[in-house]
């Protein structure tokens, strides 16, 4: 019997409530979740990101304080490292906002070294881009800077320094910035942001030298020995078998590629760097190269009470990346005792994306090379020059360009453009399906990539570089000057020769 009550009035109320529930159920797609989702209590406690209070009562403004400082952080029980942090946590505080919000960040530098914050992927004015000299002077010890801009796109972004980036990011300076679209209609209540990274330190908790291995280390791209998910090694996530979860993932490692395998199960990719893609794609392996973001829905399945492991498989991004290397265990999925959720249909969000026009687009060609060593020293080059000898590429406001980037080296390069999204296309300029907005695209060794980009109303000198930050520091960096007037010199000194 449904109801133990005897009064007809009470029965009526209960009936009305039941009808309301039914109406809600039928109005929602089959996969609709209860507002609380399906995940067991405390499911994400092992991967909680540090946060920082929004000090502004205006619902349209997110205002936070971020201080760069040294702090001891524990990445695994008993494994402590003296890291470079934002607000003492690794990763730095997780910033959440809604699309259209204004973000204000009061930044203070308490490190001994100068630094800045770059807002990776965010379409902001050049003054807020965090590039030393071009956007702002580097923030020296004891100094501060206020970042203030509007978040015009919904997606997962991230922030990190743009001074000695290979060192500073590798030492722990990075954090996630999630810009949500409350109307995206995805409807998966169990949501998680996963910051994948790595860090290298010794038994005393001292950070590994960011210049280790010299020029060869630069060419390989140095990886840290500890693989981290939200700052922890191999954390545990609880799940109900078969229940959908939305994972927004960013790879903030300075060199490491993450090639993820969820016990052979599917990842439904619904979006990438610049928000939702045109249609979802399904795959049982997921590559996320440094700087990239993936918005995926998973519905991990297993015997109730058992575990599966999210692994990072070997991926050949060039010599040194698979030799003597092994598969890494990234995260444990711990299934609750509840029975597997039956009949789950995953959402299939689509987005209308109007690609930039290939017709009439200005062709721009780039060739990435790594000439043979001279005097034990290697440098990466774009069109024959490392960044310290480069002159800017040029674009007019509103101009669409078709970039053809030939990777003539034996290493992959996740190519990043500041301040603008581009669209990967084929050699004829046709978007590679499904259409998606990127700001970081891996260009595998000995291959050529094509992309369309429209430079809108934001003039300035914008950086391009490989997001293997060792490669960037080793020469694979340049600028594109958008709009009238002379380019701002990117006063980035050449690395010291050995």
- Vertex 447, ends 442 and 452: CA angle to 5°? 60
Reported as type and span, the H/E element at residue 106 is strand 102-109
291 binds, among ligand C2O, Cu ion, none (CB under 5 to 8 A by kind): ligand C2O
466 binds, among Cu ion, ligand C2O, none (CB under 5 to 8 A by kind): Cu ion
413 binds, among Cu ion, ligand C2O, none (CB under 5 to 8 A by kind): Cu ion
List the x/- string, 159-178, binding to ligand C2O by CB under 6 A.
-x-x----------------
| 3-state class (DSSP) for residue 389 | helix
Contact 265, 298 (CB under 8 A): yes
Is 490 a binding residue for ligand C2O by CB under 6 A? The answer is no
213-221, 331-339, 380-388, 462-470 -> range binding ligand C2O (CB under 6 A):
462-470
Is 92 a binding residue for ligand C2O by CB under 6 A? The answer is no
- Of 11, 2, 103, 13, nearest in space to 52 by CA: 103
Total binding residues for ligand C2O by CB under 6 A? 10
Residues 282-341 that bind ligand C2O (CB under 6 A): 291
Is 465 a binding residue for ligand C2O by CB under 6 A? The answer is yes
Reported as type and span, the H/E element at residue 61 is strand 61-76
- As measured in angstroms, the least distance from the Cβ of 480 to Cu ion is 18
473: β partners = none
- As measured in angstroms, the least distance from the Cβ of 193 to ligand C2O is 17
- As measured in angstroms, the least distance from the Cβ of 120 to ligand C2O is 4
- As measured in angstroms, the least distance from the Cβ of 219 to Cu ion is 9
Residues 386-445 that bind ligand C2O (CB under 6 A): 416, 418
Q: From the list 240, 254, 317, 413, which residue makes contact with Cu ion (rule: CB under 5 A)? A: 413
d(CA 272, CA 131): 24
CA 430 to chain centre: 26
Q: From the list 73, 89, 109, 118, which residue makes contact with ligand C2O (rule: CB under 6 A)? A: 118
Is 471 a binding residue for Cu ion by CB under 5 A? The answer is yes
Q: From the list 81, 95, 120, 151, which residue makes contact with ligand C2O (rule: CB under 6 A)? A: 120
471 binds, among Cu ion, ligand C2O, none (CB under 5 to 8 A by kind): Cu ion
381 binds, among ligand C2O, Cu ion, none (CB under 5 to 8 A by kind): none
d(CA 350, CA 353): 9
Q: How far, in Å, are 82, 118, 331 from residue 147 at the CA level? A: 27, 10, 34
Number of Cβ atoms within 10 Å of the Cβ of 208? 17
- With respect to ligand C2O, which residue has the nearer C-beta, 134 or 296? 134
* Structural tokens at position 240: 């109900």
- As measured in angstroms, the least distance from the Cβ of 162 to ligand C2O is 6
Region for residue 16 given its phi and psi (left: phi exceeds 0; alpha: psi -120 to 50; beta: otherwise)? alpha
218-226, 339-347, 397-405, 459-467 -> range binding ligand C2O (CB under 6 A):
459-467
Reported as type and span, the H/E element at residue 232 is none
* Strand duo 393-395 + 477-482: pairing: parallel
- Of 488, 366, 359, nearest in space to 415 by CA: 366
CA 160, 365, 445, 216 dihedral sign is: negative
Contact 190, 245 (CB under 8 A): yes
Residue nearest to ligand C2O (CB): 120
Give me the residues that bind ligand C2O (CB under 6 A), please.
118, 120, 160, 162, 291, 416, 418, 463, 465, 467
């Amino acid at each position: 019997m449904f109801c133990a009550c005897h009064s007809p009035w009470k029965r009526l109320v209960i009936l009305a409530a039941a009808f309301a529930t039914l109406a809600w159920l039928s109005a929602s797609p089959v996969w609709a979740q209860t507002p609380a989702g399906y995940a067991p209590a405390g499911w994400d406690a092992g991967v909680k990101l540090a946060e920082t209070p929004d000090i502004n009562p205006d619902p349209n403004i997110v205002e936070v304080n971020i201080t760069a400082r040294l702090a001891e952080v524990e990445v695994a029980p008993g494994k402590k490292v003296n890291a470079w942090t934002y607000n003492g946590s690794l990763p730095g505080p997780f910033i959440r906002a809604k699309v259209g919000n204004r973000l204000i960040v009061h930044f203070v530098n308490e490190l001994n070294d100068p630094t800045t914050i770059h807002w990776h992927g965010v379409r902001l004015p050049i003054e807020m881009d965090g590039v030393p000299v071009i956007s702002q002077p580097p923030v020296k010890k004891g100094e501060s800077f206020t970042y203030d801009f509007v978040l015009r796109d919904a997606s997962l972004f991230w922030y990190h320094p743009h001074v000695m980036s290979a060192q500073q990011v590798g030492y722990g300076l990075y954090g996630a910035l999630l810009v949500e679209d409350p109307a995206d209609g995805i409807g998966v209540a169990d949501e998680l942001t996963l910051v994948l990274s790595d860090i290298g330190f010794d038994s005393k908790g001292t950070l590994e030298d960011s210049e280790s291995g010299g020029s060869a280390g630069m060419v390989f791209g140095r990886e840290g020995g500890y693989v981290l998910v939200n700052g922890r090694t191999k954390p545990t996530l609880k799940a109900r078998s078969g229940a959908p979860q939305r994972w927004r993932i960013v790879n903030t490692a300075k060199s490491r590629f993450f090639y993820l395998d969820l016990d052979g199960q599917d990842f439904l990719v619904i979006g990438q760097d610049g928000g939702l893609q045109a249609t979802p794609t399904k795959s049982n392996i997921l590559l996320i190269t440094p700087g990239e973001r993936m918005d995926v829905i998973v519905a991990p399945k297993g015997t109730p009470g058992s575990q599966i492991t999210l692994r990072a498989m070997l991926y050949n991004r060039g010599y040194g990346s698979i030799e003597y290397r092994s598969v890494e265990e990234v995260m444990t999925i711990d299934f609750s005792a509840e029975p597997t959720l039956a009949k789950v249909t995953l959402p299939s969000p689509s987005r209308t994306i109007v690609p930039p026009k290939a017709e009439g687009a200005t062709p721009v060609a780039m060739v990435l090379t790594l000439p043979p060593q001279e005097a034990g020293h290697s440098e990466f080059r774009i069109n024959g020059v490392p960044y310290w000898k480069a002159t800017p590429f040029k674009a007019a406001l509103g101009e669409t360009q078709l970039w053809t980037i030939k990777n003539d080296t034996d290493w992959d390069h996740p190519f990043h453009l500041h301040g603008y999204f581009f669209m990967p296309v084929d050699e004829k300029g046709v978007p590679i399906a499904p259409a998606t907005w990127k700001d970081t695209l891996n260009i595998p060794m000995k291959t050529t990539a094509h992309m369309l980009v429209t430079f809108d109303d934001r003039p300035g000198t914008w950086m391009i570089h490989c997001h293997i930050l060792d490669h960037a520091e080793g020469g694979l960096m340049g600028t594109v000057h958008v709009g009238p007037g002379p380019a701002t010199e990117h006063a980035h000194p050449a690395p010291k020769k050995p």
